[in-house]
Chain A
Amino acid sequence: MKPAPFEYMAPESVDAALQLKARHGAGAQWLAGGQSLIPSLNFRCLKPDYVIDLNGLRELSYIRFESGQGVRLGGMTRYHELEHSDVIRQHAPMMHDAIPYIAHDAIRSRGTLGGSLAYADPAAELPTVTTALRARYLLRSESSERWVQAEDFFVGMFQTVMQPDELLIEVEIPLPKAGAAWGFIERSRRHGDRVLMGVAATLTLQPDGTCADARLVYQNGAPAPRLAPQAAASLNGKALTDEHIVAAAKQAAYEEIDPESDVHASSAFRRQLAFELTQRALRDARERGTAAISEEGAGA
Chain B
Amino acid sequence: MSVQCVGEPILRNEDERLLKGDALFTDDVQLPGLLHAAFLRSPYGHARILSIDVEAARQSAGVLGVYTAKDIGSLMNPAPLIVPPPPIEGLVFNQRTHTALASSKVRHVGEPIAMVVAESRYLAEDAIEKIHVDFEQLPVHLDIEDSLQAAESFVHDDLESNLAAHVVQRRGDYEKAKAEAHRVITRRFTYDRGIAAPIENRCVVADWNRMGKRLTVWDTTQAPIPIRNGLAGMLGLTENQVRVIAPHIGGAFGAKLMAFYSEEMLVPWASMQLERPVRWTEDRHENFYSTSHERGQVHEAEIAVDQEGHILGIKDVFIHDTGAYNNYGLTLPINSQCCLLGLYHIPSYYSEFRVAFTNKTLVAPYRGAGRQHGVFVIERLLDSVARELNIDRAEIRRRNLIPPDAFPYDHKIIYQDFAPLVYDSGNYEPVLRKAMDMIDYDTFIRDVQPRLRAEGRRVGIGIVTYAEGTGIGPYEGARVQVLGSGKVLVVTGVGTQGQGHYTSFAQLAAQQLGVDVTDVEVVTGDTDQFHWGTGTFASRGAVVAGNAVNAAATAVREKVIHLAADLLSVSVDEIDLVDGKAIHRADPEKSMTLGQLAAAANPTRGAVRPGTEPGLEATRYFGPERGTTAFGAHAAILEVEQGTYQIKVLEYVVVHDCGKVINPMIVEGQVHGGVAQGIGNAFLEQLVFDDQGRIKNANLRDFLLPTALEVPRMKCGHEETPSPLNPMGVKGTGEAGAIPVGPLFAQALDDAFSDVRLEILDIPLNSSTLWHSVQEQGENQVAIHEWT
- The interface bits of chain A over 1-30 (1 if a CB of B lies within 8 angstroms of the residue's CB, else 0) are 111110000000000000000000000000
Closest to A270 in B: B768
Which listed residue, A191, A264, A276, touches B768 by the CB 8 Å rule?
A264
Q: 0/1 per residue, B766-788, Cβ < 8 Å to A?
A: 11100110000000000000000
Q: A5–B688 Cα gap in the complex (Å)?
A: 32
Q: Provide the bound-state CA to CA distance between A43 and B129, in Å.
A: 12
B762 within 8 A of partner (CB): no
Determine whether the beta carbon of B710 is less than 8 Å from that of A265. no
Which residue in chain B gives the minimum CB-CB distance to A103? B701
Chain A stretch 61-80: residues in CB contact (< 8 A) with chain B = none
| CA of A263 to CA of B288, assembled, Å | 16
Q: Is B48 on the interface with A (CB-CB < 8 A)?
A: no
The 0/1 profile, CB within 8 Å of A marked 1, for residues 110-151 of chain B is 000000000001100110010000000000000000000000
Closest to B38 in A: A2
| CB-contact partner of A189 in B121, B122, B684, B772, under 8 A | B684
Q: Which residue of A lies closest to B61 (CB)?
A: A5
Size category of the binding interface on chain B: 20 to 34
A268 touches B (CB below 8 Å)? yes
CB closest chain-B residue, reference A261: B768
A4-B126, A276-B643 as given contacts; A190 in contact with B766, CB under 8 Å: no
For B678-690 the 0/1 string (1 means CB < 8 A from A) is 0000001010100
The reply on A272 being an interface residue by CB < 8 A is yes
**Is there an interface contact between B644 and A277, defined as CB atoms closer than 8 Å?**
yes
Contact between chains at A264 and B125 (CB < 8 Å)? no
Closest residue of chain B to A276 (Cβ to Cβ) is B643
Mask: chain A, 250-292; 1 = CB below 8 Å from B; 0 = not: 0000000000001111101100110111000000000000000
With the chains together, A271 CA to B142 CA distance in Å? 30
Other-chain residue from A2, A5, A269 in contact with B767 (beta carbon distance below 8 A)? A269
Total A-B pairs in contact (CB under 8 Å)? 65
Contacts of B19 in A (CB 8 A): none
A43 partner residues in chain B, CB cutoff 8 A: 285
Chain A interface residue count, CB cutoff 8 Å, equals: 26
Please encode chain B, from 698 to 731, with 1 for each CB lying within 8 Å of some chain A CB and 0 for all others: 0001101011011000000000000000000000
Contact of B284 among A1, A273, A277 (CB under 8 A): A1
Q: Does A84 contact B (CB under 8 A)?
A: no
Q: Flag if B129 contacts A264 (CB, 8 Å).
A: no
Question: In the assembly, what is the distance between CA of A189 and CA of B644, in Å?
Answer: 10
Partner of B285, one of A1, A5, A194: A1
A residues near B387, Cβ cutoff 8 Å: none
Q: Which residues of A contact B709 (CB under 8 A)?
A: 190-191
Smallest distance from the beta carbon of B226 to chain A beta carbons, Å? 30
User: Do B701 and A272 touch (CB < 8 A)?
Assistant: no
A190→B767 contact, CB < 8 A: no
A187 adjacent to chain B (CB < 8 Å): yes
The answer to whether A242 has its CB under 8 Å from any CB of chain B is no
In the assembled complex, the CB of A48 is this many whole angstroms from the nearest CB of chain B, namely 15
B696, CB-defined interface residue at 8 Å:
yes
Interface residue? A58 (CB, 8 A)? no
> Within the complex, which residue of B285, B644, B710 is in contact with A273, where a contact is CB–CB below 8 Å?
B644
Could you tell me the distance in whole angstroms from the C-beta of B694 to the nearest C-beta in chain A? 12
Question: Using Cβ atoms and an 8 Å threshold, which residues of chain B touch A3?
Answer: 122
Q: Is the CB of B707 within 8 A of A265?
A: no
Chain B residues whose CB sits within 8 angstroms of the CB of A2 once the complex forms: 121-122, 125
A44 touches B (CB below 8 Å)? yes
Closest to B710 in A: A190
Residues in A neighbouring B710, C-beta threshold 8 A: 190
Given contacts A1-B285, A269-B772, contact A194 B129 (CB under 8 A): no
Bound-state Cα–Cα, A181 to B729, Å? 66
Indicate whether B697 reaches chain A with its CB closer than 8 angstroms: yes
What residues on B are CB-neighbors of A263 within 8 Å? Answer: 686, 688, 696-697, 702
Q: Bound complex: CA of A193 vs CA of B706, how far in Å?
A: 12
8 A Cβ contacts from B621-658 to A? 642-646
Q: A277 — which chain B residues lie within 8 A by C-beta?
A: 644
Q: How far is the CA of A275 from the CA of B645 in the complex (A)?
A: 13
**Cβ contact of B766, chosen from A4, A44, A189, A191, cutoff 8 A:** A189
CA A69 – CA B766 in complex, angstroms? 45
Point out the residues of chain A lying under 8 angstroms from B437, CB to CB.
Answer: none
Q: Is the CB of B684 within 8 A of A44?
A: no
User: CB within 8 A of B771: which of A1, A4, A272?
Assistant: A272
Kindly provide the distance from the CB of B202 to the nearest chain A CB, expressed in whole angstroms: 14
* A264 and B643 within 8 A (CB): no
Does B283 sit within 8 A of A, measured CB to CB? yes
Alpha-carbon separation in the docked complex, A3 to B697 (Å): 21
Asked whether A193 lies within 8 Å of B704 as measured between CB atoms, the reply is: yes
With most chain B CB atoms within 10 A of its CB, the pick from A1, A191, A268, A277 is A1
Question: Of A5, A187, A193, A262, which is within 8 A of B644 by CB?
Answer: A187
Known: A44-B129, A187-B644. A194 touches B701 (CB 8 A): yes
On whether the beta carbons of A276 and B644 are closer than 8 Å, the reply is: yes
A97 to B129, CA, bound (A): 44
Contact B129 A189 (CB under 8 A): no
Q: Which residues of B contact A189 (CB under 8 A)?
A: 684, 704, 766-767
Rounded to whole angstroms, the CA-CA distance of A3 and B283 in the bound complex is 13
* Contact B284–A268 (Cβ < 8 Å): no
Q: Which of chain A's residues have a CB closer than 8 A to the CB of B284?
A: 1
Which of A1, A187, A262 touches B646 (beta carbons < 8 Å)? A187
**Least CB distance, B178 to chain A, in whole angstroms:** 39
Closest Cβ–Cβ distance, residue A100 to chain B (whole Å):
13
Chain A residue numbers with a CB within 8 Å of B702 are 194, 263-264
A1 — nearest CB in chain B belongs to which residue? B283
Which of B701, B704, B707, B768 has a CB less than 8 Å from the CB of A269? B768
A265 adjacent to B696 (CB under 8 Å)? no
Q: Hey, which chain B residues are within 8 Å of A262, CB to CB? A: 696
A218-274 interface with B by 8 A CB criterion: 262-266, 268-269, 272-273
Q: How far is the CA of A147 from the CA of B771 in the complex (A)?
A: 43
| Bound Cα distance from A266 to B283, whole angstroms | 30
Q: Do the beta carbons of B707 and A190 come within 8 Å of each other?
A: yes
Q: Which residue of B lies closest to A5 (CB)?
A: B126
> Contacts of B285 on A, CB cut-off 8 Å?
1, 43
Q: If the complex has contacts A187-B644, A190-B709, are A4 and B768 also in contact, measured as CB distance less than 8 A?
A: no
8 Å CB contact of A190 from B122, B129, B704: B704
In the assembled complex, which residues on chain B have CB atoms less than 8 Å from the CB atom of A4?
126, 129
Chain A residues near B286 (CB-CB < 8 A): 1
Within 8 A of A (CB), among B271-285: 283-285
Complex interface: chain B residues within 8 A of A266 (CB): 768, 772
Q: Are A265 and B129 in contact (CB under 8 A)?
A: no
A3 to B688, CA, bound (A): 26
Q: How far is the CA of A251 from the CA of B286 in the complex (A)?
A: 44
The verdict on A265 contacting B644 (CB below 8 Å), with A1-B284, A194-B701 known, is no
B283 touches A265 (CB 8 A): no
Q: What's the Cα separation between A276 and B771 when bound, in Å?
A: 13
Q: Closest chain A residue to B285 by CB distance? A: A1
Closest B residue, CB atoms, query A266: B768
CA of A268 to CA of B774, assembled, Å: 13
CA distance A266 to B767 in the complex (A): 10
Q: From A42, which residue of chain B is reached at the shortest CB distance?
A: B283
Contacts of B122 in A (CB 8 A): 2-3, 5
Nearest opposing residue in chain B for A267, CB measure: B768
Closest B residue to A191 using CB positions: B709
A256 to B702, CA, bound (A): 27
Q: In the complex, A194→B688 CA distance in Å?
A: 17
B749 to chain A, nearest CB (A): 16
CB neighbours (8 Å) of B129 from chain A are: 4, 44
A214 to B646, CA, bound (A): 28
A/B interface sample: 8 pairs, CB < 8 A = A1-B285, A2-B121, A5-B122, A190-B709, A193-B701, A263-B686, A264-B766, A266-B772
Q: A190-B684, A263-B686, A266-B772 are in contact. List 11 more A-B contacts (CB 8 A).
A: A187-B644, A189-B766, A189-B767, A194-B701, A263-B696, A264-B766, A265-B767, A269-B645, A272-B771, A276-B643, A277-B644
The 8 closest A-B CB pairs, nearest first, are: A276-B643, A265-B768, A269-B768, A1-B283, A263-B688, A2-B122, A263-B697, A2-B125
